[in-house]
A and B are shown apart, each in its own frame.
Chain A
Amino acid sequence: MKIGKSYNLWGWVFISLALIALTLFILYPIIYSLYLSTFSTRGFLKTFVGFGNYKRLFQDRNFLLSLKNISIIFVVQIPIMLFLALIYAFLLNDPKLKFKGFFRTALFLPAVTSLVAYTILFKMMFSTDGLVNNILLAIGIIKQPIRWLLDPFWAKVTLIIAMTWRWTGYNMMFYLAGLQNIPNEIYEAAEIDGANRRVQFFKITIPLLKPIILFTTIMSTIGTLQLFDEPMNLAAGVVTGSSVGPGNSLLTPSVYIYNVCFKYVPNFGYASAISYVIVLIAAILSLIQFKVVGERR
């Protein structure tokens, strides 16, 4: 008993540093920003507005537009990316595959590049007279250059392509790890039963990877809600950088928070309210995903 107590005490001592750091740098900002979100601020001038910021949010077209923008990414980009990642993982997991190390590295490599660097690279490649248009024109797929970053629709397409390039390999790694846990016997048995690769993929791989698919979906959802680097850099403007992408087509909540804090008249209270709503949305979406994917367990 006595030993247990002193162990306990030492345990607390050892974790105290981390705990203090956690309280100071994570817990305190979380609580303070909740408090701050009840004020409308201009610099250090504060006015108490109670729930005013939250009411204002739902009439703020820019905020609603930013939600609309990310929900398009949410609906289009995440499924494409995760499905691609699954297929890559499935192919890479094939024991007969040659040059496995090369393919694995090649697919994972984008995930280690810096967000800003790759976005700037994509911005260059997708400029109107950039590499991508030149190639497409040369092989005759298009007659006119596509206005990638000058048209609201194509700007989103560019963003989706860029993000898919960057994040597919990252998600693939989770699936690859998950596939190691699926015993090969199952596939062998299926093969004997006459199931081809497609059937194996849909009937064995996907169901058995469900928990990992859930995990990657939630991570991607949260990642999308916090999307910042890519739109910010793709939209980096000329002289004034007036809108985030053509017609604010790349405006995301995080970029909006940044603008409210640093580009517009600084309103940290309102920005806190936005971030709280984002947290709430992330929580709700994660909960829904848990329910949908996990129902049969």
Chain B
Amino acid sequence: MKKVILMLLIISMLIGLFGVVNAAKKVTIWCWDPNFNVAIMEEAASRYQKLHPDVEFEVVSMAKADVEQKLNTILASGVKRGLPEIVLIEDYNAQKYLQSYPGSFADLTREFNYKEFAPYKVKLMTLNGKVYGVPFDSGVAGWFYRRDYFEQAGINPEDLKNITWDEFIEIGKIVKEKTGKYMISGDPYDGGLMRILLHSAGTWYFDEKGNPNIANNEVLKDALKIYKELFASGIMKETSGWNEWVASFNNGEVASVVTGVWIIGSIKAEKSQTGKWGVLPVPRLDLPGAVNASNLGGSSWYVLNNSENKDIAIDFLREIYAKDIDFYQKILIERGAFGTWLPAQNGYAYRAEDPFFGNQRIFLDFSEWLKKIPSVDFGLFTYEADGAIMGVMPDVYNGNLTIDEALKLAEEQFKNTLGF
């Protein structure tokens, strides 16, 4: 009897596996973060459904790692079934997917007017002159600071608009001395700040040809020096993991946060700090070509070439993500999602004063900085390079290796990972 039940179970599972029949006009979307991407996509879907009531949507919410895992396995196996129409891919990973699975993503070059999107985003999803995605949110970086702490330390934020990181550290010391608060917080082994530093100087771990540019990369040397100094000077509170990091500014332990615009939701979650925050442009490296604008993170939508309702999916993305100005205002206000479709930035939400940030028109500032972000080619191996560099950081912090030696070792390690 048990065997029969087991057999029935297996058979029904097999049917479940192979027998998935999609409804005639159904668009499936894979993305992560229920409070951000998923909620935004559901909003977009409901807007499209008002115009086209016959189209069904299924927005599947998964962890980011799960989306990547599923996408990798499903594309590598070469199956044509079970593919979603639309998938969210982090910008740092875009080229990796495009080049590893050629032909899997729909060529959208002729479907959208890419001049209307932020140029640096479009470049990230361009391969051999063809554009494969729909740029979504930006990770334009800002320097979020506590107005009350800075005032207490006698620092005028107006003087901080275009400073360098060295000046930042000096100011941090004053803040620490006068208020007892840390200037900034972060994980000593997280590459987030590294990416902000590199991007602000228009450099990455690779040169134009995609060869590693680590050991002799002046920007990277400077960035490593700043990492070391931030911790050595005692102005950076060490945290481990996302939750600790967010807690460090929610409970008022730190005077500022340097990261992507998407953090706004987490900062504003602490209602008691209303009016106490402000935003400044990020500090720059003291190097030629470095600017006071950078980026961290951000992702974009991609359409899978072999999915069933590819054309509907493309039409959907065009109707909402490249046409609906009001949609962009709503997701900015409700979710803090900073779109990269430029016409949307003339909308009201981008000009609104935010009482939480002391009535600063923060998004107007962010739109200005967005335009200044240097265009960078992330290449295929950002995570490998991050891993190699963070792997040598313990020896940099404790002084076992000089920065030059550490970067040389990191480059070797990186080449090892790649099997050059």
B376 to chain A, nearest CB (A): 15
A31 to chain B, nearest CB (A): 17
Stretch at the interface among B123-131, B146-154, B234-242, B320-328: B234-242
A126 to chain B, nearest CB (A): 9
Q: Which residues of A contact B389 (CB under 8 A)?
A: 242
B405 to chain A, nearest CB (A): 15
Contact of B240 among A42, A61, A128 (CB under 8 A): A128
Q: Which residues of A contact B417 (CB under 8 A)?
A: 60, 62, 264
Contact of B238 among A45, A147, A247 (CB under 8 A): A147
Q: Which residues of A contact B6 (CB under 8 A)?
A: 17
Q: Which residues of B contact A65 (CB under 8 A)?
A: 391
Name the interface residues of A61-84: CB closer than 8 Å to any CB of B: 61-62, 65
Stretch at the interface among B50-58, B160-168, B188-196, B359-367: B188-196
Size category of the binding interface on chain A: 35 or more
B406 to chain A, nearest CB (A): 11
Pick from A21, A45, A62 the residue with the most CB of B within 10 Å: A62
Name the interface residues of A243-280: CB closer than 8 Å to any CB of B: 243-249, 259, 261-266, 268, 270
CA distance A21 to B13 in the complex (A): 13
Known: A262-B68, A266-B76. A242 touches B190 (CB 8 A): yes
Contact of B189 among A42, A61, A127, A246 (CB under 8 A): A246
A190 to chain B, nearest CB (A): 47
CA distance A40 to B383 in the complex (A): 19
Pick from B189, B383, B389, B391 the residue with the most CB of A within 10 Å: B189
CA distance A149 to B245 in the complex (A): 13
Contact of B259 among A40, A43, A239, A242 (CB under 8 A): A239
B5 to chain A, nearest CB (A): 12
Q: Which residues of B contact A292 (CB under 8 A)?
A: none
Cβ-defined contact, A45 with B100, below 8 A: yes
Cβ-defined contact, A262 with B419, below 8 A: no
Pick from B96, B190, B387, B395 the residue with the most CB of A within 10 Å: B387
Smallest CB-CB separation from A240: which chain B residue? Answer: B191
Name the interface residues of A206-244: CB closer than 8 Å to any CB of B: 236-244
Q: Which residues of B contact A144 (CB under 8 A)?
A: none
A281 to chain B, nearest CB (A): 19
Q: Which residues of A contact B100 (CB under 8 A)?
A: 42-45, 265-266
B199 to chain A, nearest CB (A): 13
Contact of A270 among B188, B191, B259, B419 (CB under 8 A): B419
Known: A262-B69, A264-B381, A265-B96. A240 touches B190 (CB 8 A): yes
Smallest CB-CB separation from B195: which chain A residue? Answer: A240
Pick from B96, B389, B392 the residue with the most CB of A within 10 Å: B96
Q: Which residues of B contact A149 (CB under 8 A)?
A: 240-241
8 A-B pairs, CB-CB below 8 angstroms? A42-B99, A127-B244, A128-B240, A242-B194, A243-B391, A246-B189, A262-B72, A263-B383
Q: Taking A240-B191, A240-B192, A265-B380 as given, write out 19 further A-B residue pairs in contact, using a Cβ cutoff of 8 Å, ordered by the A residue number.
A: A45-B102, A56-B419, A127-B239, A127-B240, A149-B240, A149-B241, A150-B238, A151-B394, A152-B394, A238-B192, A238-B241, A238-B242, A239-B191, A240-B383, A240-B386, A241-B190, A261-B72, A266-B76, A270-B419
